[in-house]
A and B are shown apart, each in its own frame.
Chain A
């Protein structure tokens, strides 16, 4: 199955506002001024340990050192996210692209019509809301974090100029 054409670097990142817990919403514009890693993944509760979100959880220190905020995003509901984050001890926000289902994934070119989930698609968005790097991994292949780290480091010199 061909991969989606996710929004490329140089595109303005579409704004969104999604639930992260049942009574809390997060918008992309909340993070203006610092880089955001937007990590779409197909579903909570994937049956492997050391999965994509668990790996990123281990790397939060590195991401924060580079000034970046990490947001996970899937089509699961916020109650599901709460349970998943609790069980996996995740220390970053999971966004619920649940209603209308997959709307944000569609905006980023990362929705999988065939199975109603999102791709494993990664976006590094700079402090001005511009996509600076994106990558779509085959759904069975966890994309890891090396690409994210390289993209964030490439942002660094500019961040120094303010």
Chain B
């Protein structure tokens, strides 16, 4: 594949993003994911594992890519995570959703908000009013424009990662990207 055909992140990682790890980490992993997608569910502990392995060398960013036609709860789950983010608890909700992929209906979403001690009333109102729909769509569109082709899709330092995301392969790719950044 010619270099100009490599899929790249068109929307750079910035303030709008939900990120874990230092902003100046030598390698940034961006995931476009869907909370109801079983493959993303499999990727969830793997991402945790590579975060553990790379420590402060890695910044991890999650963006929404709900395939609502295939997954009836995905869109609302994504909006729920953004609702939690509005209250400063994105990652807690993100983790909760991936740990409860079989229970993503609205009743459960509101239950998770309560369990995370969010302002459940505001959370529920925003969920019903689709207050965070535009934000989710913005993520989705940025993904499409960057060559996201399904879920999960990963980008390492802005370049789409088409290889297998088993823990060892992903770790090797992240380490290689970190090393080349330093060089």
Q: Which residues of A contact B (CB under 8 A)?
A: 48-52, 54-55, 57-59, 62, 88-91, 138, 141-146, 149
Contact present for B37 and A50 (CB under 8 Å) = yes
Q: How far is the CA of A59 from the CA of B149 in the complex (A)?
A: 12
Contact present for B69 and A58 (CB under 8 Å) = yes
B173 to A: closest C-beta gap in Å: 16
Count of A-B contacts judged by CB separation below 8 Å? 64
Q: How far is the CA of A139 from the CA of B160 in the complex (A)?
A: 17
Q: How far is the CA of A146 from the CA of B7 in the complex (A)?
A: 9
Query: What is the interface of chain A mostly: helix, strand, loop, or mixed?
Result: loop
Flag B1-36 by CB within 8 Å of A: 1 or 0 each: 100000100100000000000000000000000100
- If A54-B67, A58-B67 touch, does A142 touch B149 (CB 8 Å cutoff)? yes
Given A49, A62, A141, A144, which contacts B38 in the complex, CB threshold below 8 Å? A49
B158 to A: closest C-beta gap in Å: 14
Q: How far is the CA of A145 from the CA of B150 in the complex (A)?
A: 10
18 A-B pairs whose Cβ atoms sit less than 8 Å apart in the complex: A48-B150, A49-B151, A50-B39, A50-B67, A54-B67, A55-B67, A55-B150, A57-B69, A57-B70, A91-B69, A143-B149, A144-B144, A144-B148, A144-B149, A145-B149, A146-B10, A146-B147, A149-B145
Flag B78-118 by CB within 8 Å of A: 1 or 0 each: 00000000000000000000000000000000000000000
**Residues from chain B with Cβ under 8 Å of A57 in the complex:** 69-70
Q: Which residues of B contact A (CB under 8 A)?
A: 1, 7, 10, 34, 37-39, 65, 67-71, 140, 144-151, 162
- Which residue in chain A gives the minimum CB-CB distance to B151? A50
- If A144-B144, A145-B144, A149-B144 touch, does A58 touch B150 (CB 8 Å cutoff)? no
Other than the known A55-B149, A89-B70, what 18 A-B pairs have Cβ atoms closer than 8 Å?
A: A49-B39, A49-B70, A49-B150, A49-B151, A50-B39, A50-B70, A50-B151, A52-B149, A54-B67, A57-B69, A138-B1, A142-B149, A142-B150, A144-B7, A144-B148, A146-B10, A146-B147, A149-B145
Contact present for B67 and A146 (CB under 8 Å) = no
Contact present for B145 and A146 (CB under 8 Å) = yes
- If A89-B69, A144-B7 touch, does A51 touch B145 (CB 8 Å cutoff)? no
**Residues from chain A with Cβ under 8 Å of B67 in the complex:** 49-50, 54-55, 58
**Residues from chain B with Cβ under 8 Å of A89 in the complex:** 69-70
**Residues from chain A with Cβ under 8 Å of B39 in the complex:** 48-50
- Which residue in chain B gives the minimum CB-CB distance to A62? B144
- Which residue in chain A gives the minimum CB-CB distance to B147? A144
